[in-house]
Amino acid sequence: MKILMVLTSHDRMGDTGNPTGFWLEEFVAPYYVFKDAGAELTLASPKGGQPPIDPTSTQSDALTDETRRFDGDEEAKAQLANTRKLAEVRADDYDAVFYPGGHGPLWDLTQDRHSQQLIHDFLVAHKPVGAVCHAPAVLVHAQGTDGQSVVKGHRVTGFSNSEEDAVGLTAVVPLLVEDALKEKGGHYERGDTDFDAFQLRDGLLITGQNPASSAPTAKLLLDALTG
């Protein structure tokens, strides 16, 4: 079982001058779900090398058992520091792809043509595509064989408008994940309470709403591979 994980290379929060990147827990929780299930993992990012970690996700209130496990895992840290360039990876070589969130993907992966082609190729090959929190935005411009967004007509979730408002970044981000999914014809759903775990599987598309959804979303992807 070979799983590709695609991370952002974008490190600036719009014009604010503040740093961003991927959200640590949204990477490490799925990473260990996959690793502990025996998956062979490959990490990629648009620029390759070390992808930027959102420093807010390393603060004490954002730490979890998985982030602490990662902190002591030299092999995993070395793998993260040496991601492959996204343009060099192909869907043919993997059984599934998973996109961790964080705000970074809104600026690069959402518009990345290699990512769009990769998602198309995975779905055409009947291989599952997973994304959590802000990362479901990477789906909106990826097209199916009908030339429409791959989210059109599918149940999907992602970081909600109210959650973005709660973190005070509605006016900063280039798009709101909830709105973008709806605009492309996705049937957006969310949990009853902000920041509680909520995840969906609709066919080959597997999406999670927020950081708490990271591990459950990864488990849904495993179910799609093994069920």
Nearest to 45 by CA among 118, 123, 95, 94: 118
Task: Please report the pLDDT score of residue 92 as a whole number.
Answer: 98
The overall average pLDDT reported for the chain is 97
Task: Please report the pLDDT score of residue 226 as a whole number.
Answer: 87
Task: Please report the pLDDT score of residue 25 as a whole number.
Answer: 97
Q: Tell me the per-residue pLDDT of 113-163, one tens digit each, with 9 for 90 and over.
A: 999 999 999 999 999 999 999 999 999 999 999 999 999 999 999 999 999
Task: Please report the pLDDT score of residue 22 as a whole number.
Answer: 98
| Rounded percentage of the chain residues whose pLDDT exceeds 90 | 98
Q: Tell me the per-residue pLDDT of 2-44, one tens digit each, with 9 for 90 and over.
A: 999 999 999 999 989 899 999 999 999 999 999 999 999 999 9
Average of per-residue pLDDT across 182-207: 98
Nearest to 81 by CA among 47, 55, 115: 47
**In angstroms, rounded to a whole number, what is the distance separating the alpha carbons of residues 120 and 91?**
9
Strand order in the sheet with 199-202: 84-85, 40-45, 2-6, 96-99, 129-132, 205-208, 199-202
Residues 21, 11: contact at Cβ < 8 Å?
A: yes
| Rounded percentage of the chain residues whose pLDDT exceeds 70 | 100
Map out the domains of the chain with their CATH numbers. Answer: 2-226 (3.40.50.880)
pLDDT of residue 227 exceeding 90, the answer is no
Confidence of residue 218 (pLDDT cuts 50, 70, 90): very high
Angle in degrees, 0-180, between the axes of helices 214-226 and 24-36, rounded to the nearest 10: 30
pTM (two decimals): 0.98
pLDDT of residue 87 exceeding 80, the answer is yes
